[in-house]
Amino acid sequence: MHSTRAMHHAVLVGAALMAGSTASWADEGGFLSDLWGRATFNATVRSDTSYKTTGIDNYDNQSAAPFQHIAVPRQAYLPPNLLGDLAGGIVGTVVDKWTVPIPNSLGIVHTSDTVRRDTYIPKANTTFNYQELRFGGEMNVSFTDAWRLNIQARASYDPDIYKSFDAGDVANIQGGIADGGGDRYADLGEPNYFEARGREGRKINPTEFAGRQYMIDFPTAILEYKRDAYNVRIGLQQIAWGQAIFFQTFDIPDGLDLRRHLILDRAIEEFSDKRVPALAIRGAIQATDEILVDSYVQKFQPSIIPNPNTPYNVAPAQFYKPLDNYYSGGYDTKLSYGIRLKADYGNWGYSAMAASRMNPLGVFSWAESGINKGLTGTNPDGTRWGNSLGTLVETVYGLKAKAGGPLCPNYNPSACRMYDSLGEALAHTPFTVGPGGVYSNKEWFSAAGSLRLDGLKALNTAIEEYPALRDVYASEVDNVQQASNLLNTFFLASDGSIRGNVQRDYYRESVFGLGGSYVIGTENPESFWDQFIINAEVQYTPSRRFTDVGLAHGGYESDEYIVTLVGEKWYRWTQAFPAAYLAFEFQHRSASDLVGLSLKGYGGNSGNYKVNDPVGLQGNDYSGIRTPKGISSADYLAFAGFQPWPNRKYIFEWAVLYDVRGGLLAQPLLKWNPGHNFSVDLFYNYVNGHLYGTPTNNLIRAIDFANEANVRFSYQF
């Protein structure tokens, strides 16, 4: 009932915004009547559906996470911080290596088991990857020949037909998924498809209105002045500095909104639907017949990533939704600005740009959870949770002397504690006990690899940056084996799993670009190369800030250059058909992939997935785990275009993105225009991230669950 009311409200608001009230304009020949004659309206209603064609679900979501149905052995080990510093000598050296197992004491102390996620997390039954209903409208009012008002509005609604994970289903396991330490709107209850909030609960985009299943936003709301050589736009707008399919080189002013269909919509229109609108002043001057100067000053708005357990979520749901510091860090007051010059002389074209911007992707790092929850407790239904190992750890922690007191004047994590309880200590770390988190060392390294992180470095970084982890017996490790032993000790003590907490911050960067184009002319107008357009663009960013592979605060800096080559051609294969549009593209990136993640995190491997793997059944299974070695660069090829039918009733489109390290996204599309303002788009997304080579060395591997048949119905009125 709530969802129905939300959709009804969204459509009514969108329609009212676009259509206005006829009565308010009916003043019989006055100013408003004249203005009404200068106003135009159009609107579109649309339904988008994606049907899953494989049995694979998004493995970043709870019910399809790696090792969901795989038994992984776990064994607890003696923590160095428990006895190491006190024992000293040979015993201390051995203990420091996380190699002394804690045996089961006649079954009294629970220190080993084999865990399967599906013991705790129910299986989803997903048939559809995507379903959205959308109303879009536009109003254009010309006040004078020079001034006009343009407003575009969207109202989107997701009926939630996916049967996805519901946090309420695990409320009585490990005390449920805890709230606190920031706004956890996306981690509690059913999946939240549209809301995007900062750490303190404020919406990141202040000009949109969103609920769990609906969103109303304004891609454009501008007042425009255009006369002679001058053009000025003031208001909410999207700024497009590039038209390449899949690739962004000069197209830097706006972040991307990936909530709806990630990058898997109709590729040729992708960026126009994904750019995040922002308040801006944009001015352009046609300085001469050949030279255009375009500049902007814009309020910073970050890219928006999907929420956990939504169909196209791209971050493992075992971690809490990143706490966004957009407001708490003061980034909402920052401005981005830039200038671009374009010049055309005969067959040659030149372009240059420079911008100072806040990078909209941001930098992710570990975050203090702020959640006071120990290793044992009471569920909402009154039952107790926890095991003997967790009880033992909490008891031993409570026996330590309080740091700074007479018994512990100098802090030593083996004998002293900084907090009143182990739960309070965990509140000052990035880790929280709760269901649906990471259950084993295998899962830890798998989740790290999917995020282009180094699981070993991430563990050590958390211990280095958060002293409270040493307080609860964690210590730095030297290799994957030690990390596995430490991790599984903590997972066993939690009586299930532990959830991670991360945050996002934003940093300023200076971006520079140069470009050139050339139109080939031949003596033979029938030649394929006649009027073939070649475009080249180079972007250089000194000291760009990237997410550190160990999730260290502040990330790390690296110079980056991006080179893009594009060939475009309108070509008529036969006189029976109109000309087809063809686009050939190549991009080389020196430090990041297409979505901006560091190449240093590529190549991680979580190990063997086989159920009956004989290796590692005793103790911890760390066989096959590989930390990322990184790749030196990323290279992508794209081929896209469309071919209209003679009567333009049909249009065949295609878009192919190829990662040269072994990934492929191919999208054939057929557009049918039966008339009466009605259209149908049928397209298929074929995604394969393991054509050859190491799958974790290519970008497509992250989305190769998304093989799907898509249909879009649109009606314009």
Q: Are 314 and 266 in contact (CB under 8 A)?
A: no
Task: Examine the pLDDT at 80 and tell me if it is beyond 90.
Answer: no
SS3 84: helix
How far apart are alpha carbons 515 and 370 in whole angstroms? 48
SS3 62: helix
CA distances from 387 to 102, 110, 371, 488 (A): 15, 7, 20, 14
Task: Examine the pLDDT at 19 and tell me if it is beyond 60.
Answer: no
Cβ-based neighbour number of residue 345 at 10 Å = 9
User: Which strand (E) or helix (H) includes residue 396?
Assistant: helix 388-399
The predicted pLDDT at position 620 comes to 58
How far apart are alpha carbons 329 and 5 in whole angstroms? 36
Residue of 651, 653, 650 lying closest to 641 (CA atoms): 653
3-state secondary structure 251-276: CCCCCEECCCCCCCCCHHHHHHHHEC
How far apart are alpha carbons 505 and 24 in whole angstroms? 46
Q: How does pLDDT run across 589-631, given as a tens digit for each residue?
A: 999 999 999 999 999 876 544 433 333 333 456 777 889 999 9
Mean of the pLDDT values across residues 352-376?
A: 97
User: Which strand (E) or helix (H) includes residue 456?
Assistant: helix 455-465
Return phi, psi of residue 543, to 5°. 55, 45
The residues, ordered by sequence, that sit 6+ positions from 660 with a Cβ below 8 Å of its Cβ are 635, 636, 637
Q: Which residue has the tokens 């210590």?
A: 475
User: Which strand (E) or helix (H) includes residue 392?
Assistant: helix 388-399
Return phi, psi of residue 13, to 5°. -65, -45
The predicted pLDDT at position 12 comes to 43
Full-model pTM = 0.91
Q: Are 131 and 310 in contact (CB under 8 A)?
A: no
Instruction: Select the more confidently predicted residue: 567 or 26.
Output: 567
The predicted pLDDT at position 579 comes to 94
How far apart are alpha carbons 172 and 625 in whole angstroms? 33
Q: How does pLDDT run across 246-297, given as a tens digit for each residue?
A: 898 999 999 999 998 998 999 988 788 899 999 999 999 999 999 999 999 9
User: Which strand (E) or helix (H) includes residue 378?
Assistant: strand 377-378
Q: How does pLDDT run across 87-128, given as a tens digit for each residue?
A: 443 444 445 678 889 888 767 888 999 999 999 998 877 789
Per-residue buried b or exposed e for 454-483, using 16+ beta carbons within 10 Å of the residue's own CB: bbbbbbbbbbebbebbbbbbbbbbeebbbb
Return phi, psi of residue 628, to 5°. -65, 140
Task: Examine the pLDDT at 442 and tell me if it is beyond 70.
Answer: yes
The predicted pLDDT at position 596 comes to 93
Residue of 666, 665, 664, 662 lying closest to 696 (CA atoms): 662
Return phi, psi of residue 447, to 5°. -65, -40
Q: How does pLDDT run across 650-691, given as a tens digit for each residue?
A: 999 999 999 999 999 999 999 999 999 999 999 999 999 999
